[in-house]
Amino acid sequence: MHKKNIIAIIYDFDGTLSPQPMQEYTVFPQLKISPNKFWKEVKKENEDIKGEEIITYMMKMLKKAHAADLKISKADLGNMAAKIKYYPGVVYFFNRINKFVEKESGGEAKLRHYVISSGLKEILDKTKIKRYFHNIFASEYHYDVYKKPAYPKLVVTDTIKTQFLFRINKGKEKLSENINEFMEEAARPIPFSNIIYIGDGLTDVPCMTVTTMNGGYSIAVFNPKKRKSIQICKTLFKNARVDFIAEADYCKGRELDTYVKVILKTIIAGINHYTAQREMAKKRNVYK
Ligand SMILES: [Mg+2]
């Protein structure tokens, strides 16, 4: 039986922690291609071949890099990560919220942060905020013997993202572990009621729905400079896909910070309730 004292905040990356898709800070400038043109080409090609958009973008990026003679080994991609820009307050958010949970729960609850992204793990693994994450799940290339990316070996689509929610929930975070075996609620180390999912758009809908329908919490964040982004969040809220919507500003005292803390206090109250029940049961020998 787990203590159920672990809380997880799970973030999408592009548009959630960082304003633009990560490729736009990293690979595209080196390839000298306009993001708009690239994504349009991906959409068009994908319509023609009726494929999976993430595979199409990963293959197209590979082909363009090869054609331009740009090296994109794992190390090269990692080196580009420093160029990524973050929304206000992101860099300081994790430590600050960890301390909040520690104080609020009297050290009883432990907070973990995760990323689930359709972007590239090679880049995410080298970001300056990597050390705050318990785990990062993202798309990955397979590399040949010359360390060149050959093909996508892991593709994280909108719906595949939900698989990782269950991996976190069941404590089976290694991809080699079977996720479909039945596991009783009591045996799951991080119940959905201890999970907060933060995303920015329609690609997060499957994760938001799985989280909230299982008793967890979802927040949609928007870029205040983009009307479309604000509109998407309003629709998500109107359709009850998310509990809160807020500007993607992670600074102390801002709306997002307030909502995250409101949810965390609720989760911590649940953890304290569970702990008190267990102690009472022990005292009264209920389970003997
Ligand atoms: Mg996103």
Tell me how far the alpha carbon of residue 208 lies from the centroid of ligand 1, in angstroms. 12
Q: Domain for residue 24, yes or no? A: no
pLDDT band at 277 (very low <50, low <70, confident <90, very high): confident
The reply to whether 58 falls in a domain is no
47 found inside a domain? no
Q: Domain containing 187 — which CATH number?
A: 3.40.50.1000
Which pLDDT value is given to residue 185? 85
What single-letter amino acid sits at 105? S
What is the arithmetic mean of pLDDT over 2-16? 93
Distance 204 CA to ligand 1 centre (A): 7
Answer yes or no: is 77 within a domain: no
pLDDT tens-digit map of 102-144: 999 999 999 999 999 999 999 999 999 999 999 999 999 999 9
Q: Write b or e for each residue in 22-39: b if 16 or more Cβ atoms lie within 10 A of its Cβ, otherwise e.
A: bbbbbbbeebebeeeebb
Contact between 88 and 15 (Cβ < 8 Å):
no
- Cα-to-centroid distance, 203 and ligand 1 (Å): 7
Q: Is residue 40 part of a domain?
A: no
How many domains does the chain contain in total?
1
Distance 242 CA to ligand 1 centre (A): 15
Q: How far apart, in whole angstroms, are the C-alpha atoms of residue 218 and residue 201?
A: 12
pLDDT at 24 over 80: yes
**Least confident window among 58-62, 192-196, 284-288:** 284-288
Q: Residue 133 is part of which domain span? A: 6-17+87-283
Return the H-helix or E-strand segment holding 55. Answer: helix 53-67
Q: Structure pTM?
A: 0.94
Q: Alpha-carbon distance 288 to 271, whole Å?
A: 23
CA of 117 to the centre of ligand 1 (A): 8
Q: Check pLDDT > 70 for residue 254.
A: yes
Instruction: Please check whether residue 177 lies inside any domain of the structure.
Output: yes
Q: Is residue 25 part of a domain?
A: no
In angstroms, the CA 127 to CA 19 distance is 15
Residue 186 has pLDDT above 70, yes or no: yes
Report which of 129, 104, 167, 166 is spatially closest to residue 250, judged by C-alpha positions: 129
DSSP 181: S
Separation between Cα atoms, residue 24 and residue 165, nearest integer Å: 27
Task: Kindly state whether residue 29 falls inside one of the protein's structural domains.
Answer: no
**Which pLDDT score is estimated for 286?**
80
